[in-house]
Amino acid sequence: MRGPLHDPGHPASVGLPAGMEDPDRAEQFVPAGLASLQIEADEIELAVMNAAHEMFWPPIRALLSLDLGDIEPERNPDLSRAPEKV
Amino acid sequence: MRALDLSLRGQAAVIAAGEVDPAELLDATLARIEERNPAINAVVATFPEESRAMLASAPDGPLHGVPVVIKDEWPLPWRAQRFGAAELLAPTAPGESGPYRALREAGAVVVGVGNMHELGSGSTGNVSVYGPCRNPWDTDRCPGGSSSGPAAATAAGLVAGAVGADGLGSVRFPAAYCGLTGLKPTFGRSAMAGHHMAAVTTLIVSGPLCTDAADCRLLGSALFGEELPAGDAAGLKIGVVRDTVSEDVTPEVREACEAAIEALRTETGGEIREIELADLEMATLAGILVINGESLGGVPAERLNHLHPDVSPINRGFLKYRMLLPAAAIAQAGRVRTLMRRRLAALFEDVDAIAWPTIPATAPPLEAPLVELPSGTHTADQANVRGAALANLTGIPAISVPVGVGSEGLPIALQLQGAWGTDALLLDAAEALERANGRRWVDARPPLAQAEPTV
């Protein structure tokens, strides 16, 4: 079901539409995300974004599924040097 | 003029010895650019008056009077950078950038601005507001990016060295595609001031692109503001990883790189150790997320509705897509960064350098930058970044060294990555590899540079 949040002409104020069934599908995620930010896009740009989404979203989902809770990020790391031993 | 075809250090030496008038070398370089550049579109701006003024006040530094090209990524006192794009979503203005000051203090002369992949967002160099840059080895092929112009200009013999920038491989890819040596320094060691992302980037560094490691050492020392001392890399312990980065490559790349690693081991009297480096794909994604997060630059979303019409469709689309990247993923990328830095620190207690191919396949066609790998067809960007992002994400130095020419007459390159601060050691290792190969690959020149010089 496609609601007004899918239409860049009718931007959402917050979040993604409850009707978005599968964020892995670019044709749902991209227009909804753009609408939520009031960003317009033409067909070519949408095609680029759909391709980008298909490329990046699966590994992003994989990244978000990793349990990295026991890794304490470096605070203001000095990237010119090795990390301090923990 | 014979001096035009000397190495960077060769040009510096003949000028220092009084054998060549640097003003004549500058004029000859400008004439060479006029002659050869139309075939490759590597240099997008020259400014003879400013170059002559720079020469007139050049100090007696190690690069006194030597012409160099700088990527369209930093401002010059007389020209703002354009970043290869019709529009940059960041304020820019002419000014004295860090690399410009470093070159000036070394006595070098900035003779031109090098083309680059639009917004630094590609590894191929085929997209630019100035038009595509072309590979001197085959002008229907990609020169690599994003430092396409600096690499193509050096490979074609327009200049003997150039300054590029590397955020996710952007010095190493064009070095590899164009048969050059390119150093991605340890993060924070080379001049970066004046870059429009200098205050926020934790990935991008300036770096030299030259025909060989000794020239990279000379130009790199200027960019570092300190000498990169020469050693011998004796007993080098080389780590090799049996993973996608070394195995999902074309057979000719694999063969050339494996032969080069063995030659390097023999030359240095060192050893090869198989090492484990898990989660490289996550490190690549983390690098992509970090650089995109950092480059958002406080631009309001609504601003993206008014992009310059000459920004390429692919970048218009991607500039908008990156606004949709989840903050949680960018935060998670920070933890992956920490994880990979700790893993590398442990690995570098056992090995001095990690080696794998810089690029999985030789330069693809400009019109369709795709590569055929054992795993299938990929965009060159997708395939290339897998081997490059780790160094930027973690801050370690890396160098790309030519190690062969493939069946289509295009260069093949090996990448060496070292621990933080071992930039000089990587140059030593690259020189050892040159010796092992009898300088065959660093002295190889593309057809365009072999043309009978008229200037």
Q: Confidence class of residue A8 from pLDDT cuts 50, 70 and 90?
A: very low
The packing angle between helices A43-65 and B313-321, to 10°, is: 40
Contact A76/B at CB under 8 A: no
Burial of A48 (0-12, 13-18, 19+ CB in 10 A): buried
Contact predicate B239/B273, CB 8 Å: yes
Shortest CB distance from A83 goes to which of B189, B333, B338?
B338
Contact predicate B172/B398, CB 8 Å: yes
CB atoms within 10 A of CB B193: 16
List pLDDT tens digits, range A26-78: 788 999 999 999 999 999 999 999 999 999 999 999 999 999 999 988 888 99
Residue identified by tokens 């090795």 is A82
Number of residue pairs across A and B with CB atoms under 8 Å?
Answer: 122
Q: Tell me, what's the pLDDT at B73?
A: 96
Integer angstrom CA distances of residue B166 from A48, B122, B153? 24, 11, 17
Q: Nearest CA of chain A to the CA of B334: how many Å?
A: 7
Q: Tell me, what's the pLDDT at A26?
A: 78
Contact list in B for residue A29 (CB cut-off 8 A) is 324
**Bond from prior residue into B146 cis (ω within 30 degrees of 0):** yes
CA distance B108 to B110: 7
Contact A71/B at CB under 8 A: yes
Contact B288/A at CB under 8 A: yes
Of the residues B321, B323, B344, B351, the best mutation for testing chain A's interface (the one with the most A CB atoms within 10 Å of its CB) is: B321
CB atoms within 10 A of CB B72: 32
CB atoms within 10 A of CB A7: 12
Residue identified by tokens 């690399």 is B99
Complex ipTM: 0.91
Contact list in A for residue B328 (CB cut-off 8 A) is 64
- Express the helix, strand and coil content of chain B in percent, nearest 5 each: 40, 15, 45
Give the list of residues 6+ apart from residue B227 with CB closer than 8 angstroms, or none: B221
Tell me: pLDDT of A6 over 90: no
Q: pTM of the prediction? A: 0.94
Contact list in A for residue B321 (CB cut-off 8 A) is 30, 48-49, 52-53
Contact A16/B at CB under 8 A: no
Q: Tell me, what's the pLDDT at A4?
A: 32
Contact B429/A at CB under 8 A: no
Token pair belonging to B417: 């990555």
CA distance B347 to B355: 13
Q: Tell me, what's the pLDDT at B453?
A: 60
Token pair belonging to B94: 């002419």
The DSSP output letter for B237 is E
Q: Tell me, what's the pLDDT at A76?
A: 87
The residues facing B240 across adjacent strands are B274, B355
Of the residues B119, B320, B381, the best mutation for testing chain A's interface (the one with the most A CB atoms within 10 Å of its CB) is: B320
Contact predicate B29/B158, CB 8 Å: yes
Q: Tell me, what's the pLDDT at A72?
A: 86
Contact predicate B71/B163, CB 8 Å: yes
Contact A39/B at CB under 8 A: yes
For chain B of 455 residues, list the mean pLDDT of each consecutive stretch of 10. 93 98 98 98 98 98 98 97 92 95 98 97 97 98 98 98 98 98 98 91 97 98 98 97 95 98 98 96 96 86 93 96 94 96 97 98 97 97 97 98 98 98 98 98 93 62
Q: Confidence class of residue A21 from pLDDT cuts 50, 70 and 90?
A: low
Contact list in B for residue A56 (CB cut-off 8 A) is 285, 288, 325
Q: Tell me, what's the pLDDT at A86?
A: 73
| Nearest to B210, CA basis, from B29, B10, B74, B391 | B10
CA distance B10 to B32: 18
Contact B244/A at CB under 8 A: no
